[in-house]
Amino acid sequence: MGTPTRPPTGVRVYVSDRERRRRIRRRRLVALGAVVAVVVAAAAGARALTGHSGSPSPGSGAAAATAGVTHAPSARPTVHATSSAAPSSAVITVGWVGDTTPGSMYGMPPDGGRALFGSLPPLLRKPDLMIANLEGTYSTAGPSKCGSSTANCYAFQAPPSYAAALAWSGIDLVNMANNHSMDYLARGFSQTQAALRRAGVAFAGPPGTVTLVHVRGLRVAVVGCSPYPWSAPLNDIPAAARLVRRAAAEADIVIVLMHAGAEGAGEIHTPNGSESAFGEDRGDVRAFSHAMIDAGADLVVGSGPHVIRGIERYRDHLIAYSLGNFAGWHNFGLGGNLSLSGLLTIRIDGAGHVLGGRWLSLYVAQPGVPTVDSSDTSAHLVSSLSAADFAHTYRLDSSGYFGAH
């Protein structure tokens, strides 16, 4: 992703590297089309003046040049119109993966952090917009939230240079609305944002902000929410809804990233009502997700429980409550449900209609690196959970593909 450009108050605007390359190619095509139009118009003018005899009459050169200039402006809009689809008919793919920890005291992935992603980068690069939940910081040594006497406290930190591995892998944007973004306090929070900017990776989640990304000519607004004060408020649903309405006014598509819910191998079902973990109120994920859709969100995708949960279809919009662990280096508890993961790819048009997608089954094995699971175990589980927990869902086939209904 690129750095912010001319943002309105509270809205960060990013242009992805992929989108920038597309725009350059599109401008080149427009310019080439204009040149061709000038040449064609000039030739047509010359033929009209000479009566197609091949012998120009006096002054035909000047007249031909004038004809070319006057025809070029009418040709340019035609070229431009054919080079970009109307927002409502344009279709993009959005990818989402779960909890991703770049490194910690438990170990640093080799090769500048690239080893964290194993063999998946070719798959991560396929979606037009690839999003992950970033659990940890890119920061330098300094005080953490865990004092010397704090038990069962986990603070995750990788060198700022490791942020480049995200961009290398194909991840375009990360969610910072979670319980590990402030592991190294305000200094680490700020350093992480700076490292992401240098790496060209966008981020969502700081309080009161909407991140606007340009993807294939569409404006995609992303809002990150969690129960913590350093993010948009998960537990203040009216305030979060106001932020989503503001995002909807700025964009064609609105995505809400939600970090919420109880944690643990047994937390695979999505309950009704509020959830808690470690004495924290982790939100009412159903009420929150429904309210975000009602306020104008087109997709809600979640993380936090460290296990996968079901997918709900609410008012013909998709809510994926959790994709579990994605990638970490010796910092996740793994095995059983904790090792089941997924890469969710969603096709969505400029009007916010979900056109289908795929749940690609992944398995996370030690040291915490995801691989494709050819047995499709997590796709089968998410299908079962979706049917059990929700009145309306998407039907996944045996390979995890699903349509609009």
Higher pLDDT, 113 or 49: 113
Strand partners, 215: 218
Q: Which two tokens stand for residue 208?
A: 């009161």
User: In sequence order, which residues have a C-beta less than 8 Å from that of residue 346 and are 6 or more positions away?
Assistant: 93, 94, 95, 96, 299, 318, 354, 356, 357
Q: Please, what sign has the CA dihedral across residues 373, 374, 380, 383?
A: positive
Could you give the CA distance from residue 259 to residue 309 in angstroms, rounded to a whole number?
13
Confidence band of 87 (pLDDT split at 50, 70, 90): confident
Would you list the DSSP string of 349-386? ETT--EEEEEEEEEEEETTTEEEE-TT-HHHHHHHHHH
Domain 91-403 class, CATH top level: alpha beta
Query: Is the pLDDT score of 73 beyond 50?
Result: no
Query: Is the pLDDT score of 378 beyond 60?
Result: yes
Q: Which two tokens stand for residue 20?
A: 């920038």
Could you give the CA distance from residue 99 to residue 115 in angstroms, rounded to a whole number?
16
Give the tens place of pLDDT for each residue, 297-345.
Answer: 999 999 999 999 999 999 999 999 999 999 999 999 999 999 999 999 9
Confidence band of 152 (pLDDT split at 50, 70, 90): confident
Where in the chain are all domains bearing CATH 3.60.21.10?
91-403
Could you give the CA distance from residue 249 to residue 118 in angstroms, rounded to a whole number?
39
Confidence band of 19 (pLDDT split at 50, 70, 90): low
The predicted structure's pLDDT at residue 88: 73
Q: Of 10-19, 24-33, 275-284, 319-328, which has the strongest mean pLDDT?
A: 319-328
Mean pLDDT calculated for residue range 278-297: 96
User: In sequence order, which residues have a C-beta less than 8 Å from that of residue 59 and are 6 or more positions away?
Assistant: none
Query: Is the pLDDT score of 64 beyond 80?
Result: no
Confidence band of 5 (pLDDT split at 50, 70, 90): very low
Would you list the DSSP string of 31-43? HHHHHHHHHHHHH
User: In sequence order, which residues have a C-beta less than 8 Å from that of residue 262 and are 6 or more positions away?
Assistant: 275, 276, 277, 282, 305
Mean pLDDT calculated for residue range 116-125: 98
Would you list the DSSP string of 232-266? EESS-HHHHHHHHHHHHHH-SEEEEEEE-S--STT
Q: Is 215 helix (H, G, I), strand (E, B) or coil?
A: strand
End-to-end CA distance of the chain: 32
The predicted structure's pLDDT at residue 201: 98
The predicted structure's pLDDT at residue 18: 58
Rounded (10°) angle between helices 285-295 and 237-250: 30
Confidence band of 23 (pLDDT split at 50, 70, 90): low
Supply the mean pLDDT for the chain: 84
Give the tens place of pLDDT for each residue, 231-269.
Answer: 999 999 999 999 999 999 999 999 999 999 999 999 999
Query: Is the pLDDT score of 43 beyond 80?
Result: no
Query: Is the pLDDT score of 7 beyond 50?
Result: no
Q: What are phi and psi of 115, to 5 degrees?
A: -60, -20
Could you give the CA distance from residue 323 to residue 98 in angstroms, rounded to a whole number?
5
Percent of the chain with pLDDT over 70: 78
